[in-house]
C-alpha cells in the first residue's frame, strides 16, 4: 500500500490514543528512539507519560527475568495504574505486551493479566512475533528463524529448549494451545493469512478482525514490513 506509514501515523494521530508498550526485556527499548521510557509505573509516572507529545511510550518491566506469579502481579499493577492515569488525563490508550520473537516469555499469563485488569472487554489478542532483521518470520502460521543462512522452524531451535520458557510447537496456532494448556484449542485461533494480506489488503484484514470476539488469539503472518503495514491498516480500520 503506497504511503502506508503515513496513513498509519495519521490514523494514530487522529484517534488521539497512546500506544503503551509493556516491555518484558531491556532489548526492546534499544530498538526505539525519541519516545519516553519508564522504569517505574506509579500513577504519577504514567500520567506524565500520557501527557507527552509522543504517540507512544515504553514501560520497561523486565518481567521475563522474574517468576510468572510476580510478572502477573506486576502487569495487574501497571494496568490499574494506567487506567487511573488515563482517567485523570482523559486519554485513551492501546496496550502492547512486547515479548520475544523466539517465543520465550510469560504467555499467556501476562496478556491474561492485562485483559482482566483493563476490564476484560477485548475482542482479540494479536500475536505478531516477527523480527524481520533477525530473520524471524511467520508463514502459513509457522514461525521461522534464520540460522546459518537457512530458515528453521522455531520448535526445532535451541530457543524451544529454554529451561524456563520451552515449547515444542512451531505452528503458532498449536503453540497457543500448548501454552494455554488446551484452554484455547488451535482450531479456535484466528489466522490472518499471508496470501490474503497481499491479495485482499487492509479491507480483508479488517473484515477478518471484525469477526473476532471473546479475547481470541489472532496470528499474524508476515515476511516484510509491507505485510505488517497492511495488517496494521486493517487493524486500525477494524478498531475504528
Contacts of 221 (CB under 8 A, 6+ apart): 138, 139, 140, 141, 191, 192, 193, 194, 197, 227
Under a CB-based contact definition with an 8 Å cutoff, are residues 130 and 139 in contact?
no
Q: What is the mean pLDDT of residues 110-126?
A: 94
pLDDT at 31 over 90: no
pLDDT band at 179 (very low <50, low <70, confident <90, very high): very high
- Mean model confidence pLDDT for the chain: 96
Report strand pairing: 37-38 vs 56-60: parallel
pLDDT at 173 over 80: yes
Tell me what pLDDT residue 5 has. Answer: 96
Is the pTM for the entire model greater than 0.85? yes
- CA proximity to 124, closest of 188, 56, 193: 188
pLDDT band at 29 (very low <50, low <70, confident <90, very high): confident
pLDDT digits 0-9 by tens, 148-161: 999 999 999 999 99
The CA distance from 87 to 120, in Å, is 17
CA atoms within 13 A on the CB side of 153: 13
**DSSP run (H or E) holding 206:** helix 194-210
Amino acid at each position: 500500500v503506497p504511503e502506508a506509514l503515513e496513513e498509519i501515523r495519521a490514523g494514530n494521530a487522529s484517534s488521539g490514543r497512546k500506544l503503551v508498550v509493556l516491555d518484558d526485556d531491556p532489548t526492546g527499548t534499544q530498538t526505539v528512539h525519541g519516545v519516553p521510557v519508564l522504569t517505574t509505573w506509579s500513577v504519577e509516572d504514567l500520567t506524565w507519560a500520557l501527557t507527552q507529545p509522543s504517540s507512544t511510550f515504553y514501560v520497561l518491566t523486565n518481567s521475563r527475568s522474574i517468576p510468572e506469579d510476580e510478572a502477573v502481579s506486576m502487569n495487574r499493577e501497571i494496568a490499574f495504574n494506567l487506567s487511573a492515569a488515563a482517567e485523570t488525563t482523559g486519554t485513551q490508550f492501546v496496550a502492547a505486551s512486547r515479548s520475544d520473537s523466539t517465543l520465550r516469555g510469560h504467555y499467556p499469563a501476562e496478556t491474561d493479566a492485562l485483559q482482566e485488569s483493563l476490564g476484560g472487554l477485548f475482542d482479540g489478542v494479536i500475536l505478531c512475533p516477527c523480527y524481520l532483521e533477525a530473520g524471524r518470520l511467520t508463514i502459513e502460521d509457522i514461525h521461522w528463524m534464520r540460522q546459518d543462512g537457512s530458515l528453521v522452524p522455531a520448535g526445532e531451535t535451541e530457543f524451544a529448549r529454554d529451561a524456563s520458557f520451552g515449547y515444542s510447537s512451531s505452528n503458532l496456532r498449536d503453540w497457543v494451545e500448548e501454552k494455554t494448556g488446551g484452554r484455547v484449542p488451535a482450531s479456535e485461533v484466528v489466522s490472518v493469512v499471508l496470501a490474503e494480506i497481499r491479495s485482499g489488503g487492509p479491507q480483508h484484514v479488517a473484515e477478518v478482525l471484525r469477526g473476532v470476539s471473546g479475547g481470541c488469539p489472532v496470528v499474524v503472518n508476515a515476511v516484510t514490513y509491507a505485510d505488517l503495514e497492511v495488517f496494521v491498516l486493517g487493524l486500525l480500520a477494524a478498531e475504528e
